[in-house]
């Protein structure tokens, strides 16, 4: 279900650059946090990212050795929310939404305090 390559929005790419400068974590690790923050709230994401012209990720790089777990979370979300969009768009939407929820993060300590 997870496409091999996927793109995120330019806004998300800019936010990832900022968070990397503040936390030292790479964009793929930060994207994992963002995806999980958004996907744990099972309500359907109403809007898609305005564009998908930002950073491109390979799925193995984005999700690492736990790709199968992320795929299970995605399948669960799609089933419960009834989201029939392309899986790459759903993932990009979750990353956008999760990064929005991470708006107050300024350090690793802030990231660790996310709930």
Query: Which pLDDT score is estimated for 49?
Result: 75
Which neighbouring-strand residues pair with 57?
Answer: 6
pTM for this entry: 0.92
Write down the pLDDT at residue 70: 97
Half-sphere exposure of 103 (CA within 13 A, CB side): 5
**Angle, alpha carbons 42-77-25 (nearest 5°):** 85
Q: Read off the DSSP letter of residue 54.
A: S
Q: Which CATH class is domain 5-112?
A: mainly alpha
Cα four-point dihedral sign 75, 80, 86, 87? negative
- Predicted confidence at residue 38, as pLDDT, reads 92
Written as tens digits, the pLDDT of the chain (115 aa) is: 899 999 999 999 999 999 999 999 999 999 999 999 998 887 767 667 778 999 999 999 999 999 999 999 999 999 998 888 899 999 999 999 999 999 999 999 998 888 7
């Amino acid at each position: 279900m997870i496409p091999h390559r996927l793109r995120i929005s330019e806004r998300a790419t800019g936010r990832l650059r900022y968070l990397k400068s503040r936390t030292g974590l790479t964009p793929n690790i930060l994207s994992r946090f963002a995806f999980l923050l958004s996907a744990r709230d099972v309500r359907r994401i109403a809007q898609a990212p305005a564009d998908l012209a930002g950073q491109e990720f390979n799925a193995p790089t984005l999700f690492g050795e736990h790709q199968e777990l992320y795929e299970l979370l995605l399948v669960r979300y799609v089933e419960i929310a009834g989201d029939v969009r392309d899986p790459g768009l759903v993932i990009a939407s979750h990353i956008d939404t999760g990064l929005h929820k991470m708006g107050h993060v300024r350090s690793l300590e802030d990231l660790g305090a996310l709930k």
